[in-house]
Each structure stands twice: as structure tokens, then as C-alpha cells.
Structure 1
């Protein structure tokens, strides 16, 4: 007798004890009966060396408030010369290592900003305006003779580069001086007639992402204008949203004009999204990306109006992040400052420190959801006498004495679900506690949904089903 999504293991007494296939990433796409497995607020970690299982699931990190800057939301954060600068609401602040803010000036608009520096001067592109913080004074490009609307900013080889909004043009500052400009120091990414969506500096090259193509420029040192197109380095793939372009793990990730997520390997865009993720992205109106590292996991987070989807470059697997009562995750950006990874809020002015040892998100619960792949026999009716989750137990703590894990099941492809049944994950020190459910009835196909909402450590290793 064969079973799908299960592995037969030895048993006694006529029982078929099946090791259920784990859910390792977000796979729910157009058809739930075909693929309904997904992970929300948890992610897979691959075993290194001798481990009990090849993979385990752990809850997404909790968020501990580090600072509360301005009125929010936080629109951007950047470190220059060891000091953190934050745009919160319509204000620019410097923030000390103790989290204390100092107001600097006003930044127009309400959307995300883009920031770059040359070591002494901070440049900000916001709502079409280019701002320059130099020697404590905040000015605009118009104050220095440039009236063009800008959409992005970057730094390379002592030059500040700006993209001119709604065009394929970019222009540069004077060498080492973000307040000095010659209007003739302007060029066009003209390998294709599409406009520049955004740019990023990577490996001392400037990558200009258009709506249909990507062009690569480098500093040739030419006297008339130092930046030239890099030979035949021309990528016939456009960008959907400038804010999806993120440097991570020595490369660049972005969402393409075809709503597929890519990673640039050299000059080759390699697809990293799955059909399930692409299904979720099919109708989104924006895609805002950021990246951060945590204990060897390098997360590329893509926030959209249909949720926040996260790619873990350590495993090549996707999962979803979701804050309570929000469509996606409350976090909208990340920055490394003062020897810390800091995450910024898209809801207010808060800045957080992420921690896998913290089980709440700014005091709110984290709802961990695990939807397992369908268990199915060879079209015969089966009886599930028991289902056991092998998880870390005895995880009660000062916040919750007896944390619980919930199970429910669907026998019609995730359309209707059974009542919830809760089991203990063990009070403090009850390390031999078993999370097991019995007398779960008959089925031809079944999907299991597990949930943890209590503020306790969640670490799931494997699943067993007693099916006869």
C-alpha cells in the first residue's frame, strides 16, 4: 500500500505509522488541492552535520523596540560615517547608538526614500526632490543649480549619481562634492528606449534598471564624462518596481517586469521565485524589497499589497510574514548600525532589533501557521488513529505557563476545515510532553493545519501519522 506525502516507517500491531512530508516553503498557488502547503511566520533551517532531521521549522524572529523616531512611518534609514540617519514622516533625524534622535530638517513626500553618501555628505531622493546634508546644513539640488526632478541616488568612486525622473538620463556631482554640479555632466542609458526605473551600485558598476532592460555602466576615467556603458553587458529584462531592487549576499535581487523575482548572477537574471509566489504577485501594485541577515539566514523580504513574502538565500525557500491585523509584515526596511541589525516600521516611527529568542512582535502575538502537504492513499478510504507533532516541548515561560499548539484538518482540499483541537507544548521543564491528537476519523485525502499563537518558543522537527 502506498501513501503520498508520507514515508512508511516500522510499526507494530498492524498500524501503518507514517512520517508525514514536512512543509518547507510557501507552495499554495492557484489550486489548493494540488499544493496547499505554506509557512506563515516560520521558516525552514537546513541541518548542518549530525541532526535529528534534515530540516526543522522555527518561528520568525520577535521584534524588540530599540528606538521610536518621529511620527513615522519610517521611510528610509542609512549609515554615514558611523552615524544612523532616519527619515520618519516628513523629517530627517540623526539617531545615536543609544537610540536618541536629533531633528535635522524636513523631507517632502510620504513614500520610501533612497539614500547614499560620499563619507561626508548625505544625499536623499524623495518625492522627486534631491536633498543634500552637508556640514550640518540640509539643502536641495535646486539650491545648487539643478532643477530636474530625481528618482534615485547612488555613490561610486567619489561621485554622487542621480537618475532624472521619467527619463533614461542620469547625472553626476563633482568629484568628492555632492553640492557641485555641471548641467552638462549628464548621460543617457540608451541601449533601449525605456526609462530608468531605478539603479544600484554593485561591484563598482552602476546597474540602471529600466522598465524593459538593465544596462551596466562603469567608470572609464574619460575626461569629458567618466561613465560609459560596459561593452555588451545588456540585460533584456526590465524591473517592475524600483523598490524591489536590493543588494544581498554579493548579488542583486529584483522583481522583473514579468512579475518574476530574479537574482542577478553576473549579467544573467536567474529566477528565484516559484509559481506559487508568482501567483501571489500576479496583481500587486507595488513591490518593496529589503534584506537582512540573521544567524546565517539571508532574508530578501518583498512587501506587497497582497502580503509580505520572504526568500531565504540560505535554503532557497520562501515563506510569508504577517503581523496581527495587517495584510503583511509591519517591517518595511533594514539597516546595519552600531553593530546591530535594525528593522524599521512601516506603521510608525519605531525601529526594532529582531531576535529568534523573543516570541512577540513589539508586544503583539506572532501567529505561526504551518499548512502541511496533502496526505493521500491510492484512492482508498483511510482512518487516522493519531497524529503527532515532534516539536520542542517544555517551552512554558514567564509569559505563558502552558503554551498550546492547534491542529485542524481539511478533507476537501483546504476548502472546509474541522474544529480546532489544542494540545499542550509543555509547562516549564516538561520536556517529555507529547503533542498528539487521536481518533481523527476517516479520509481519502487530508491536509493538516497547525497553529501556535502563544508567546513561546516554536521549533518543529517532524510529524507522524498512525493510519490504518
Structure 2
């Protein structure tokens, strides 16, 4: 019989036996013939090494890529070189442009880099001293107050000038501001337990911004970095631990119970986005677990891990460099995402764990298990493990050759796998080869 091995990652961290299904470093897509196939995620190629550690933020301004790392602002060139533009501060950071200027919040300080004069300055404070985030909104630079509810805006087209009266208070709900975010022609102020929408009134100075009527929602951010921009809106993890798409004033929940369990039990740190061949991936990065990534094209989740042990994906920010997507890593490295089937010098381990396949309630002999990878283009092996107890324990891996270049008709079959009333299959491969396979397998009992 033909069975579909897995749809999307569904393993609940606190109830693995309920559904052990996982896609790790693999995602599904539909072919033009209507078949579902599994593809490898993009690997990482080292592009530049910045001074210090912990890339805190990345952004493009005027077609150039900037990053905050090691308490400095950097410009990253397409040829892999980088330029130290000056010291800012350590701690959480955000970057925004304003008509060529590069505006940086680092720690609780605010800086402006002018590429015309190649100078980095710290403007005099306006309505408040401690800055929590920076954003560009209709020719204004918006600053939020760290640990407070005030937000301020610069002079029009001049982020170096912060008038003391250009401020307001996000007081729709009784909670503090975390992040300003511009989209849909509005300024969204994400707070600890709520969100407010503001608009440009067209007036000048202190009357430039006003809150949209009814523009208050009872959903905030889980933490200040749990938000990322994608074309069409924002991706957030809300204060309730759920993942949402935010656009046009609406919050669309997209998380599954396993994702929400992960945000509750594990340590989410940030959100980031990237795209590949028509797929936009919205990722929740964890300090102590693989990332959960939502495929906007397929409306499905998979996991992104790093290393042989499938540990956390050690990235903190993403941005385009030229026409390619790049990530900023915790070791200060900037890596380009490419179809390398490797993470730098480390293997890109791809692992599929099936949903539970039940044998009609009777003990059956599993005589054959066959998978259907793309063949004749790359060599390598795939290992199979079997679990008969819902993923609690696994058999030793049994490797099978995929078949080298030109071997288009080679079958990949495991035989005489024992008896089971229900089983889970785990497939794993590590070779730096582009292996694509059907989501279906053939089972003979």
C-alpha cells in the first residue's frame, strides 16, 4: 500500500507519542503534476566575519546591507568584505533607514550614520533618554521608549533632530511599548500585551501622528524581538504564545499546538524571514531547540536545525545581500543562504519522521518499505530507523544507497523489518547532495 509519510512537523515537545512526525531541514512543495515532494532547506555559506559576536540586527538601507554586531555598526558588501562604521552599543538592536541615513537603536541609545559624510553621531535626546526601538514611517524616524509608553518622531526627513515636543503616549492599554513597526500605511506600536495603530495626520510637529479609531488589539509581543517583516505584513509571536500574521489591522493565527507548546516550554529569542524559489519562510528562533519555520506558500511548518545533533539554528537576524538572503549568526558570521546541502564546513542533516502508521490493529510483518527519491543525479545513502512504540525508542539505522549519477532506475527498498501493530519510520541523510523525494512510501505487509 502507498502511504504518505508526513505532512508537516507535528511533534509536541511535551507529548511526543501523540504525533512524532517531523520535517527537520526539509520542507514540502507541490509539483505541477500535483505530487507532494520533500526538498532540503538552503544551507549556509560563510560570507563575512564581523568583529565580535552576536549579530543583533540586519537591514538594507539604500540598497546596502548593514548589521549591528559586537557593539559596532557594519556595512556588508556583496564581495564578502565588511566595513566597521563605528561603535554603537551592546544589547538588543534595530536598524531603519531615512532618505539615505542609517538609524540605529543599540542597547538604549540612538545613533545616525550619514553615508554622505561617513560619520556616525549620537543625536541629542528628545522627549526621553532610553530608546527601545527605531523605525521609519513616512519620512519620520520613530523612536520608542525603553521600558515605557512614550514614542517620539524626528523632524521630517531629518533623523538627527529630535524635537522635545514630537512625542505621544501609547496609552490604549495599560502596558509598556516594545517595538514600532510600519506597514499598510500605518504605524503599529507593539506592546507587552496589546497593539495600537497610528496614522500620519498630515500636520506638522507634535500633531503629526494620531491613533486610528478603534485601533487597539489585545495582543502584544511575547518579547521585543519576536517580530519580522515579510512582503505583505509582519510575522509575530504574540503575548499569548501564538504565532500570527499581521496585516491590514488583522491578526491571523497560524501556529499549531506543537508550535505553541514550544514557545511555552522552550526559549524563543527572535523571529526572522527568508525566501527560496517561491517559498517565504517565517521562522521562530529558539536558544535551546531547532527553529520552527512556517512556509507561507504551503501553510505548513517544518524545523530548521544545525549540526549532527540537530541543535538550535544559531542565527539571530536575516536580510538580503545583493539578490541573496543572508543570516547573521551568533558567532559574528554573516552567511549566505544557498542550495549547498551543507552548513559551512558542517553537514546539513536532513531528517524525516513519519506519522504513526497503524496496521489495522493487528500485528503485521513489515516485509518491504520503499521510498522514491530523485535518482540518477547524485550519490549518497539514506538511513532508515523504525519505532514500534510511538517514537520512544528506535532501531539501529539501516543505510541504503540512493544510486549514483545515471542510475535512474535503482530502487530504494528495505526488507524484513519485523512485526508491528503500529510503526513510525525515520529517514536521515547527511551527504552534501540535493536529494528530493516523494512524501509517499510503499509498504508491503
Task: Report the TM-score when normalising by structure 1.
Answer: 0.90
Distance (Å, rounded) in 2 between the aligned partners of 1:377 and 1:326: 30
Once superposed, what is the RMSD of the aligned Cα atoms?
1.7
The 5-angstrom pairing of residues 61-100 of structure 1 reads: 61-100=42-81
Note if contact 1:255-1:287 (Cα within 8 Å) is conserved in structure 2: no
Q: Structure 1, residues 256-311: CA drift from partner, whole Å, max 9, x if none?
A: 11111111242221110101111111123443011111110001111012331111
1:342 aligns with 2:322: no
Question: Shift of the alpha carbon at 1:353?
Answer: 2.1
Note if contact 1:394-1:427 (Cα within 8 Å) is conserved in structure 2: yes
Tell me the residue number matched to 2:414: 437
Tell me the residue number matched to 1:117: 97
Distance 1:163 1:378, change over 3 A: same
Aligned partner of residue 317 in structure 2, secondary structure: strand
Distance 1:291 1:383, change over 3 A: same
Distance 1:205 1:466, change over 3 A: closer
Q: Structure 1, residues 227-276: CA drift from partner, whole Å, max 9, x if none?
A: 00011122111210121111213011111111111112422211101011
Moved more, 427-436 or 367-376: 427-436
Aligned partner of residue 225 in structure 2, secondary structure: helix
1:161 aligns with 2:161: no
Distance 1:466 1:195, change over 3 A: closer
Question: Shift of the alpha carbon at 1:131?
Answer: 1.1
Note if contact 2:126-2:152 (Cα within 8 Å) is conserved in structure 1: no
Give the number of the structure whose alpha-carbon radius of gyration is greater: 1
Q: Structure 1, residues 376-420: CA drift from partner, whole Å, max 9, x if none?
A: 023111111000011112343xxxxx4110001010111111111
Tell me the residue number matched to 1:14: none
Question: Shift of the alpha carbon at 1:169?
Answer: 0.7
Q: Structure 1, residues 316-355: CA drift from partner, whole Å, max 9, x if none?
A: 1111111115731133221123233222222x23222222
1:366 aligns with 2:343: no
Tell me the residue number matched to 2:290: 307
Distance (Å, rounded) in 2 between the aligned partners of 1:158 and 1:437: 63
Aligned partner of residue 282 in structure 1, secondary structure: helix
Distance 1:466 1:318, change over 3 A: closer
Distance (Å, rounded) in 2 between the aligned partners of 1:119 and 1:97: 22
Distance (Å, rounded) in 1 between the aligned partners of 2:284 and 2:439: 28
Note if contact 1:388-1:463 (Cα within 8 Å) is conserved in structure 2: no
Aligned residues: 439
Question: Shift of the alpha carbon at 1:145?
Answer: 5.9
Q: Structure 1, residues 16-66: CA drift from partner, whole Å, max 9, x if none?
A: xx112231211011433321101111111123x325x2x110111122222
Note if contact 2:57-2:317 (Cα within 8 Å) is conserved in structure 1: yes
Distance 1:286 1:28, change over 3 A: closer
Moved more, 66-75 or 377-386: 66-75
Tell me the residue number matched to 1:426: 403
Distance (Å, rounded) in 2 between the aligned partners of 1:430 and 1:300: 37
Structure 2 unmatched runs, 5+:
none
Tell me the residue number matched to 1:390: 372
Structure 1 unmatched runs, 5+:
1-17, 397-401
Task: Report the TM-score when normalising by structure 2.
Answer: 0.94
Tell me the residue number matched to 2:278: 296
Tell me the residue number matched to 1:226: 208
Tell me the residue number matched to 1:46: 30
